[in-house]
Amino acid sequence: MAVGQVSFPQMNPIAGISLGTTNAGIKQTVRADILVVQMAEGSSCAAVFTQNAFCAAPVHVAKAHLSQSPRWLLINSGNANAGTGASGMSNALFTCEAVAKLVSGAATQVLPFSTGVIGEPLAVDKIEHALPNAIAQLAEENWTAAAQAIMTTDTFAKGATRCIEVAGEKITINGISKGAGMIQPNMATMLGFMATDAKISSALLQEILSFSAEQSFNRITVDGDTSTNDACVLMASGCSAAPEITAESPYYQVFADAVLAVCKELAELIIRDGEGATKLMRIVVEEALHDAEAVQVAKTIAHSPLVKTAFFASDPNWGRILAAVGRAGVENMDLDKVQLYLGDVCIVENGGRAASYTEQAGQAVMNKEEITVTVRLGRGVATQEVLTCDFSYDYVKINAEYRS
């Protein structure tokens, strides 16, 4: 169940980007588990991928095909095609060829993506059989269906959209993502697919996506696990009437900010849907020497099972947070300068418990569904925020029964 009120947004179609879904019966037969995305000829494409050394076969193939002017994406849920060796690579390539035959394209123009159980062979026969129907469903309006097709343990479909104006013309940016567990992005622990009708080069698109992913998907964690599979793709069809966005364009930053906003919204939705989550926590580290230090401290807190279980219990056991700060690896930290807040309640200052702190005040914050933890290190001016969620009984149940 999601933390907070969430709903799938109304998304405008994006000219030049079509989406089609179907069910192949890979793991279930209730909803779609195949998504095909078609880009207009001449589209630009950028992507970021997981840094897990055991990355899945489709990741290897998608990386290799990214420079070959891709026109199609093929996504399946229910099976990760990871840890499958040479046969997994053959199966990933086979699915690209199967798409290419149906659309009269080249297999190298297809980027494959898979998500689901690791170590099981991909049912390529089921995918091949289902592909004609997915392609027959291709339409620019199918964003909701696309978001549903890529879900695994997600409890709701995730989407975000922004519209900007460039020289009097409208540009739209839509994004969908999946992810609820195995979330500790090392770019990227989720599947995300974003598209726009802007005219922009692949090189600039990659620059914008890499920055946006670092500031959004790399600032979230559910459980500290980096996936073998996942990736984020940003496509640009170039079908808008707006002028091309270049590095020198006065609209470059407006566009980049809109992409970042979509990424941040999708990232937050992943945390709101964290497996078994009942609370969303914003871990804000201020007055760090540099951004890397701030992220390091924030993630140490966010990854701590003791911190996360205390939040599930609504227990203001602030010693667990303090201990996480202390083991975050900050060199020469002046404890007397460290301040720790739960919401606006000061818990720690001058090297110990704040004189003004009361258990009642701390409890009032911990009873909330969304909580901000602020750490001020007193070392510099850098500030970073990491989003995480609590660990509940359901997290264990979901992952214990994942293959059932």
Residues noted as catalytic = 189
Check the CA dihedral 383-258-152-231 and report its sign. negative
What per-residue string of b and e applies to 377-388 under the rule 16 or more CB within 10 Å gives b? bbbeebebbbbb
The closest of 270, 261, 328, 342 to 300, measured between CA atoms, is: 328
For 224, the token pair is 């500290």
Q: Which amino acid is at 30?
A: V
Sheet holding 382-389, edge to edge: 220-221, 382-389, 280-288, 370-376, 339-342, 345-349, 352-353
Q: Beta 169-178 vs 158-166: how paired, if at all?
A: antiparallel
Q: Beta 352-353 vs 345-349: how paired, if at all?
A: antiparallel
Give Dmax over CA atoms of the chain in angstroms: 72
Helix axes 85-103, 124-136, angle to 10 degrees: 30
**Cα 237 from Cα 40, distance rounded (Å):** 6
**Cα 140 from Cα 37, distance rounded (Å):** 9
For 326, the token pair is 């202390």
Three-state DSSP class for residue 212? helix
